[in-house]
A and B are shown apart, each in its own frame.
Chain A
Amino acid sequence: MVKISRYILVVIAIVGFSIGIPKLYWMAFSKPIRVPFVMYSCIENDFMIQRSGEDGLMRQDTRGNNYTREEYEEKLPFLYVRQLLMSNTMPDSINGVEMDTHEISMNRSTFRVQPEDLDSQTQKLFPLFEAESGRANLEMPEDYFRISWRMEFVDAKSNKILEEKSQMFSAVLYNRGFEFPAKSINGIPTTRKSCDEGYLVVDSKDQLFHIKMIEGEPFVEKVKLPGGMKFKYISCVDFRNKNFYAYLFSTNNELYILTQDEYELIKFPVENIDPAKNQIRIYSDLFHYNIIVSGDDFVKVYALDTNYQNVNDYYETWPAREDRSEGKIIQALFPGQISMTDSDSNFIRFYTTFNSSLYWLVLSGLLIGVQFVIIKKRNLELKKNIIDFIIIGVSGIFGFLAVNIFPNKFFD
């Protein structure tokens, strides 16, 4: 029993050190990875790249031509529209299209999704706004809904279920073929939007429904989906041109939009779009969609025209943190590391990474040698310390510290 208590403490120490020591290492030695900002220029019909380095910002195109700040901004007129208008350098027309600030503004949109948005606590209660209240501003309803075995509205003030409203909405959903419960409820739960378009809800059979409330009555529309289509993430948008309701990311890493009113699913000609692993940013303007996919060691940018056809793409890589000198050193020092948090998740977990290189085994071997000397000095039996040697061999410096903090010398 006492022996077991010692090994428990050794394990606890190894866990603590595998979290604490690498954390200290990265605090001391990590360096920022400067990710280039890449956008397609409708003036140059080429990608413009802005890099930040130790000498400041560098702006260039894919052929290596360098630009001043002003020149760079002029190549991306829709990104810097306010600056160009201020300095009177906004062209009167681009590609034969007259520049109208209202039109520019109507067609400009930005969108971002990152892995932590997906690996996050699933929200199950939402406010259902009145979509046609006749008021200029949206108002926060008094109740919230959940879709479990039925669609249930809970009054916030009394914390009681609103039976009549719940039955009305549940009945309509049921009649439209909704299979309870909902797998995901996706919308924009805020009054700070131009209008309310309700929620896109995936039911338990992966069917997609559009649900909103119009003058107190339920509005439910089933969206026709190609067979077997499943979504890993749906993000509703509130863009001024009202072309579509949402960006939809399928489980086979494709990107779709769902057009407004017609409920047509349009696939973007882009590959391997996985918001669970990479950050996805989408900028749209009068001429193009820029879809920027960025990971730890790469950026890929697709430029699409407004008919959603691919115009050009750009790909760049750089060494990931593990491949840089500070990453290689840590791989030689530790067999792996544990972190309770991760930049790609909102959950607390034991995020365990094992080093792909085996250089740490050299240090482990050295530490086994040191332990051997310690045991000999204390005149202890080698046979009774074999488990300690194995612990050091497997967990390196963490195990070495642990077995010496909780010494074994009484057990022979």
Chain B
Amino acid sequence: MWKSVIYKEWLKIRWVAIIFGGLGILAVGNIFLKVQHDLVFNEATNYWYFILFQGYQFFGYGLFKFIPVLGALAVAVAQYFPETVNKRIKLTFHLPLNENKVLLMMMLFGTICLLAIDVIMFLLFTSLSLLFFPSEIIIATLVSTAPWFLCGFVVYFLVALIVLEPVWKYRFMYIIVAGAFVPIYLESAETGGYAPALPLLILFTVVLSISLLFSGYRFRKGEM
């Protein structure tokens, strides 16, 4: 039964996840193509200087900041929107499985897919960075990009919450909450500047993972 539930989730998101993964890899590749190009046209020492002392953020190239967010948004919509069409999720709730467990399983599956794609992007980014930069630059860069990836998960959890919410009035209010909360992951800062905020941002992201239960509960109880 669980295998079937997971397979259903995979069917819903597979193309979106594959496209997101592909775009993510391309975005990382694009960044390092630019780095390589810049190193051909500038002395390496000057390029390091721009990064270390003039605030140049090579990792900000090509809207990389928004790729995890947009990918997560697309996966969440692909996974949860079909469930709201004709209230199909009620079919899932009729399965001989614990309703909360089913919802958490759906969320866990989506999260693992996002995590897998993010890990691939993160590893690719880190290993390509190692070719060009010293550890000081890489660590600061990873600290700066970490909130963007965390933001992807937050958007995924909140979009799931919003899509599954049965009442439009509340959907609108959840969007306002998301609009106030999500930007804290996307502030402009110097490279490595997010370090003090990261522990709380990670905590918020982790605890938000069960937020879907709330609108799932309202859906089950027939809130209109």
Contact with A along B182-224 (1 / 0, CB 8 A): 0010010111111111001000100110111110111001010
Which A residues are CB-close (under 8 A) to B48?
A: 125, 144, 156
In the bound complex, how far is the Cα of B173 from the Cα of A125, in angstroms?
47
Contact A5 to B214, CB < 8 A, known contacts A121-B192, A144-B134, A190-B53: yes
In the bound complex, how far is the Cα of B47 from the Cα of A159, in angstroms?
12
Which A residues are CB-close (under 8 A) to B197?
A: 340, 347-350
Decide if A346 touches B53 in the complex (CB within 8 Å).
no
Decide if A15 touches B181 in the complex (CB within 8 Å).
yes
User: Of the candidates A4, A146, A350, A410, which one forms a contact with B136 in the assembled complex, judged by CB atoms under 8 Å apart?
Assistant: A146
Which B residues are CB-close (under 8 A) to A405?
A: 170, 173-174, 176-177
Decide if A19 touches B49 in the complex (CB within 8 Å).
no
Cβ of B100 < 8 Å from any Cβ of A?
A: yes
Most buried by B among A13, A125, A350: A125
Contact A12 to B181, CB < 8 A, known contacts A341-B187, A405-B173: yes
Chain A nearest CB, measured from B40 CB (Å): 12
Chain B nearest CB, measured from A94 CB (Å): 39
Question: Quick one: closest A residue to B53, CB to CB?
Answer: A189
Cβ of B86 < 8 Å from any Cβ of A?
A: no
In the bound complex, how far is the Cα of B165 from the Cα of A6, in angstroms?
13
Chain A nearest CB, measured from B108 CB (Å): 14
Question: Quick one: closest A residue to B223, CB to CB?
Answer: A410
In the bound complex, how far is the Cα of B200 from the Cα of A350, in angstroms?
8
Most buried by A among B45, B177, B223: B177
Cβ of A237 < 8 Å from any Cβ of B?
A: no
| Other contacts beyond A142-B44, A349-B196: 16, CB < 8 A | A1-B213, A2-B100, A2-B214, A5-B211, A6-B214, A9-B177, A9-B211, A19-B184, A123-B52, A144-B45, A159-B134, A340-B187, A347-B193, A348-B193, A348-B194, A407-B170
Pick 25 A–B contacts, CB within 8 A, sort by A: A2-B217, A5-B213, A5-B217, A15-B184, A16-B177, A16-B179, A19-B184, A121-B193, A142-B43, A142-B45, A156-B45, A156-B47, A157-B43, A159-B134, A189-B52, A190-B53, A346-B189, A346-B193, A347-B189, A348-B187, A348-B194, A350-B197, A402-B177, A407-B170, A410-B223
Decide if A340 touches B196 in the complex (CB within 8 Å).
no
Decide if A12 touches B45 in the complex (CB within 8 Å).
no
Chain A stretch 140-154: residues in CB contact (< 8 A) with chain B? 140-144, 146, 154
Contact A19 to B180, CB < 8 A, known contacts A5-B213, A124-B136, A159-B133: yes
